[in-house]
Amino acid sequence: MADAKHGKILIVDDNEDLLKAAKMFLKRHFAQVDIEKNPEAIPGLMSHEDYDVILLDMNFTKDVVSGHEGYFWLEKILQLDPSAVVVLITAYGDVQMAVKAIKAGATDFVLKPWENEKLLATLYAAMKLRETKDEVQTLKVKNQEINKEINQKYAEIIGQSALMQKIFQTIDRVAKTDANVLILGENGTGKELIARAIHKNSIRSQQNFVNVDLGSITETLFESELFGHKKGSFTDAKEDRAGRFELANGGTLFLDEIGNLSMPLQAKLLTAIQNKRVSRVGSNKDINIDLRLICATNMPLYEMVKENRFRQDLLYRINTIEIQLPSLRERFEDIPILANFFLKQYAEKYQKSVSKISDAAITRMHKHTWPGNIRELQHAIERAVILSNSTVLQPEDFNFNASPTKEEGQLSLDQFNLDEVEKLLIRKVLKKYNGNITQAANELGLTRSSLYRRLEKHGL
């Protein structure tokens, strides 16, 4: 086992002969073996070394039978390092004490006199546990950092309009509860932003926020993605996998574009929400789920209920609290604040000296209808910053159409080239369906991805 010679072991026992014998044997298998007769030295030793395993005697000279000193020092060690792995040394008649100590936080125990191979196997198992604890702690720290970055990215919902002030007040009241929330609004209005703000200010804020785009999940993969699967349950299931419900357990599950679900998938989702448990594909074992559910859509759910395209009982389940986000054209007073926020963001990102948006450009922004809402404004600012050679953005830096004061229906097609006609048509269809990409794509005879490419192309 030469390749396994790593790890640091501390042995604490009042029997000097036992200490010497243990060290002589164990130093052939571990990188470092420290021995100590006096348990009072434990805090000092732990402050200088990060031990993988601590072998601790149950009884020292002050108390040779009750094991109280062993309990005391076990508790002390776990206070100093909650992830410490402690293996107890005890006599045959003290097994019940050792079992009690394991319930108090010890990892295992060895009986003295021990067999060397059994001792070695116990220490290797204990060391493996320590490695696992360290890995879990590392993952936890990484997850906290990732969540911190995500939360910083969505730290501010920008807006001073009366409509946005009402949204802020609603978030303040709703976040501290565990009520399910339904967020309604056009594409680009910031539904995920609101969902993250609710999670960040909730009692579950230290747990996971799991985002699921239901519009991108196929019917065949729905159960696997949301509920997980067992290895071999279908062709590509090469390993066990937790679903999004499991990953969000204890935290918040955000189901975006819930209006895109077919009726059969709505039924499966409703069952999971009602029962508060799921089972992985290929398994009969139920997994209890405790999470906060936030859903969002740009589709008219109430009309869809009347048309039997959305289950009324599911709607009741997901909208304990309902938040209707205003479109950007309903909060024009927020445009300068948002525009300047994005200006600073992209000037720093692309290292440009642009520092201001002219009054004329702001006036022009107020005349634009913004069918793509905040997302469209963000893209417009980014594009202008990249292409501008000035320190101040002017109206000509933006890709607005030539006659902004006219209604789209009044524009004459003979004024436009082919690209401009396409742009006009996309705008009219988006307006018709209140920014719903799926419905607009169907009307235009395009796929969602094709429509997104055209939106990108035209700066919409």
> Is residue 64 helix, strand or coil?
coil
pLDDT of residue 232: 82
Please tell me the predicted confidence (pLDDT) of residue 459: 67
- Its pTM stands at 0.59
pLDDT of residue 417: 58
CA distance 26 to 389: 71
Q: Regarding the domain delimited by 154-326, which CATH topology (the fold level of the hierarchy) does it fall under?
A: Rossmann fold (3.40.50)
Q: Where in the chain is the domain with CATH 1.10.8.60?
A: 329-458
353-362: b (≥16 Cβ within 10 Å) or e:
ebeebeeebe
Give me the pLDDT at residue 93, please.
58
User: For position 258, what pLDDT does the model report?
Assistant: 96
CA distances from 55 to 42, 192, 211, 268, 410 (A): 11, 51, 45, 52, 85
Tens digits of residue pLDDT in 408-433: 444 444 444 566 777 778 888 887 77
Q: Kindly report, as residue ranges, where domains of CATH 3.40.50.2300 are found in the chain.
A: 2-135
Q: Of how many residues is the chain composed?
A: 460
Q: Report, as ranges of residue numbers, the positions in the chain whose pLDDT lies below 50.
A: 1-2, 63, 151-154, 402-416
How distant, in Å, are the alpha carbons of 37, 68, 72, 73, 83 from that of 79? Answer: 21, 17, 11, 10, 9
**DSSP state at residue 155:** S
**Per CATH, is 2-135 categorized as 3.40.50.2300?**
yes
Query: Which residue in the block uniquely carries the two structure tokens 């036992």?
Result: 18
pLDDT at residue 408, as a whole number: 43
Tokens representing residue 170 in the block = 């609603």
**Torsion, Cα of 5, 10, 15, 19 (10° steps):** 20
Which residue intervals of the chain bear CATH 3.40.50.300?
154-326
- pLDDT tens track for 292-333: 999 999 999 999 999 999 999 999 999 999 999 999 989 989
- String of DSSP letters for 97-138: HHHHHHHTT--EEEEESPPHHHHHHHHHHHHHHHHHHHHHHH
At 81 the pLDDT is 86
Q: State the pLDDT at residue 146.
A: 58
Report the Cα–Cα distance between both ends of the chain, in Å, rounded: 64
pLDDT at 353: 93
**pLDDT at res. 65:** 54
If you ran DSSP here, which 8-state letter would residue 253 be given? Answer: E
CA 201 to chain centre: 14
How far is 153 from 151, CA to CA, in rounded Å?
Answer: 5
Confidence at residue 177, expressed as pLDDT on a 0 to 100 scale: 93
- Least Cα distance to 120 among 50, 20, 74, 53 occurs for 53
Nearest Cα residue to 374 out of 310, 451, 306, 460: 460
CATH topology of domain 329-458: Helicase, Ruva Protein; domain 3 (1.10.8)
Q: What is the pLDDT of residue 154?
A: 40
- pLDDT value, residue 2: 42
Using alpha carbons, list the distances in angstroms from residue 31 to 10, 121, 255. Answer: 11, 16, 50
